[in-house]
């Protein structure tokens, strides 16, 4: 079975894009390999995002905040899909992506900005995780070899 590389982009690459990477990499369909990056990456991955990724079965030592420029380099993995998960990254000028991957914006509020108890903070991350999971499930059910940017954007409206 062919696997598809998905790059999740966010501004700081510390929360939403990390969740996307973990969810894609551990998706039960086995169809995806997840990656993540940011336009202005932070210095670390959000602890709650890393905890959830680990609960999903992701090796937390693989999770790092990194620049999206890493994925524009000649030796970088070729992406099939590029998905922005925050409104800031969706509006920024992205690097050139070799192979013309299909692109979409699946926007979610930043869970790391939620104030309150640890339970309230984790609930915000779980809400983003559930939203991403729903969209990945829809994507996995589609004929991926025939997918283009327009049909990928429709995943957002169906979720």
Amino acid 143: pLDDT = 86
Domain count, the chain: 1
**Angle value at C-alpha 145, between 139 and 150, nearest 5 degrees:** 60
How far does CA 137 lie from the centroid of its chain?
Answer: 14
62 membership: H or E segment, kind and range: none
What's the pTM? 0.89
- Residue-level pLDDT at 51: 97
Neighbouring residues of 37: CB distance < 8 A, sequence distance ≥ 6? 7, 8, 9, 13, 17, 66, 67, 68, 70, 71
| Residues spanned by the domain of 97 | 4-158
104 forms bridges with which residues in the sheet? 83
Is residue 89 a contact partner of residue 37, using CB atoms and an 8 Å limit?
no
pLDDT of residue 152: 59
Closest C-alpha to 110, from 46, 155, 24 = 46
What per-residue confidence (pLDDT) applies to 99? 73
CATH value at residue 74: 3.40.50.2300
Chunked in runs of 10, what are the mean pLDDT values of the chain (159 residues)?
93 94 97 94 94 96 93 89 77 64 89 95 97 96 73 58
């Amino acid at each position: 079975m062919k696997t598809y590389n998905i790059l999740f982009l966010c501004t700081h690459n510390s929360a939403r894009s990390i969740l996307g990477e973990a969810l894609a990499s551990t998706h039960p369909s086995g169809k995806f390999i997840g990656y993540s990056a940011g336009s202005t990456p932070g210095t670390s991955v959000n602890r709650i995002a890393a905890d959830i990724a680990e609960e999903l079965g992701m090796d937390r030592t693989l999770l790092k905040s990194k620049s999206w420029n890493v994925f524009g380099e000649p030796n970088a993995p070729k992406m099939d899909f590029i998905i922005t998960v925050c409104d800031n990254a969706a509006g920024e000028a992205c690097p050139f992506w070799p192979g013309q991957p299909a692109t979409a914006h699946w926007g979610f509020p930043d869970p790391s900005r939620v104030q309150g108890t640890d339970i309230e903070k984790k609930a915000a991350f779980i809400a983003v995780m559930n939203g991403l999971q729903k969209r990945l499930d829809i994507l996995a059910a589609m004929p991926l070899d025939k997918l283009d940017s327009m049909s990928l954007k429709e995943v957002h409206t169906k979720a």
